[in-house]
Amino acid sequence: MKITIVGAGYVGLVSAACFAELGNHVLCVDRDAGRVERLKQAQVPIFEPGLPELVAKNNGAGRLVFTTDMKAGVAHADILFIAVGTPPAGDSSADIGQVLAVADAIGESLSRFLVVVDKSTVPVGTADKVRETISRAMKRRARREKPGRRPPEFTVVSNPEFLKEGAAVEDFMRPDRVVIGVSDDAAGRKAEALMRQVYAPFNRNRERLIVMDVRSAELTKYAANALLATKISFMNDMANLADALGADIEKVRQGIGSDRRIGYDFIYAGLGYGGSCFPKDVAALCHTAREHGERMRVVEAVRAVNDAQKRRFVERIEDYFGGSLQGKVIALWGLAFKPATDDVREAPSRYIVRRLVALGARIQAHDPQVRSLEQLMPAENVARLGRHVDFAADPMQAACGADALVIATEWKVYRSPDFPALRRLLRQPVIFDGRNLFDPADMKRLGFFYQGVGRRSAP
């Protein structure tokens, strides 16, 4: 099948490479000419395990082609996926400007029946706006070119992505489910048949396609992310209670995770959620509810707990040092919002760095994929923080001469350090573990002061 993906970002590039791997002819369109040229050379701009190999393989085989030519993308496609960014706007809503710009460009070039698929995470009702935008562009073009000519048909489908960063290729190729939202008309039925065809390779063992109306599909994405974020914030609330009661949240996690109705996923206490999805999607869902006269009281509380969790963690560090971090050196292990990615959007580490520096500390940081302050922070923060933050080549170098070690991301490389060597390198044997990597009793035996999240400290 001929597929066009508009947007060579995280979702678009993973989708393009995986569809090409399944034998489709995929044209990936992006407006960033520099990115397109790098991708033509199989230079992948994001860190995602397995993705560079897929891009190189299918690029070399001619099944995956990159271009900036939107008209060529429309002409190529049986199905066109919109996978551009929907960043948060100033009012917490999702900015769908890029989505609608693509829709306008589609209307300017459309010449035959086309299935247009919203793959980006978009608010409920976006498919209607995409349909209206394409129709307006087609009418504008018709008035300009051949008035009275019957316009080609198209339909808009919702096909939300459910990819985890760090496991996106695996998630795409072995999905739990594929949600498709189609309209209840002839064009919608034709679109459903084409979508079933393109996703047929995923259904060999069992049916994974879930077909519904468009608005329900759009809401499904937000509902899924909000519920997963709720589990994280719930466990962090419980971790704070465990601190107050002298309980161990890891034992609690094992006790409730064994219940099949709950499960073990997303119930690890820590610094809260970050990344490109949960923060903006939770905020956007709350904004959508307010627009329609509703309040998402549980989801609003999820946001509040998540914001407070980072503050509480830094306050623990501040309290340990008597309320002042002036002149202290803090080793920071982990900057990406989660392991196996280089994504720092809404990463807890960003707040930790800004706050510790504001309190007078100097940071010695290490992350396997985030290696500079420019990569970590918005440009306006780099100059202000630059002289207070150093980057180390390895975790032990970051720990050398530090008054405390802070762990913000649970990379595997941090799980089994040489603890005697670590104790010698640290100026003070103090660990604040925001990801509960270690056992407090073991840390006490090894001579560390250890503070996890929701676990009894080991003085």
What domains sit in the chain, N to C, each tagged with a CATH number? 2-212 (3.40.50.720), 226-451 (3.40.50.720)
Residue with tokens 């290696």: 371
CA distances to 81, 160, 254, 262 from 259, rounded to whole Å, are 38, 29, 9, 5
Q: Alpha-carbon distance 202 to 117, whole Å?
A: 18
pTM: 0.91
**Tens of pLDDT along the chain (459 residues)?**
999 999 999 999 999 999 999 999 999 999 999 999 999 999 999 999 999 999 999 999 999 999 999 999 999 999 999 999 999 888 889 999 999 999 999 999 999 999 999 999 999 999 999 999 999 999 998 888 877 678 899 999 999 999 999 999 999 999 999 999 999 999 999 999 999 999 999 888 889 999 999 999 999 999 999 999 999 999 999 999 999 999 999 999 999 999 999 999 999 999 999 998 999 999 999 999 999 999 999 999 999 999 999 999 999 999 999 988 999 999 999 999 999 999 999 999 999 999 999 999 999 999 999 999 999 998 888 988 999 999 999 999 999 999 999 999 999 999 999 999 999 999 999 999 999 999 999 999 999 999 999 997 766
- A 10 A CB-CB count for 380 gives 7
277 an active-site residue?
yes
211: β partners = 180
Q: Catalytic residue among 18, 277, 286, 400, which? A: 277
CA distances to 93, 264, 284, 305, 362 from 290, rounded to whole Å, are 10, 32, 10, 20, 42
Which tokens is 162 given? Answer: 């459910």
Contacts of 49 (CB under 8 A, 6+ apart): 166, 167, 169, 340
Residue with tokens 């979508």: 195
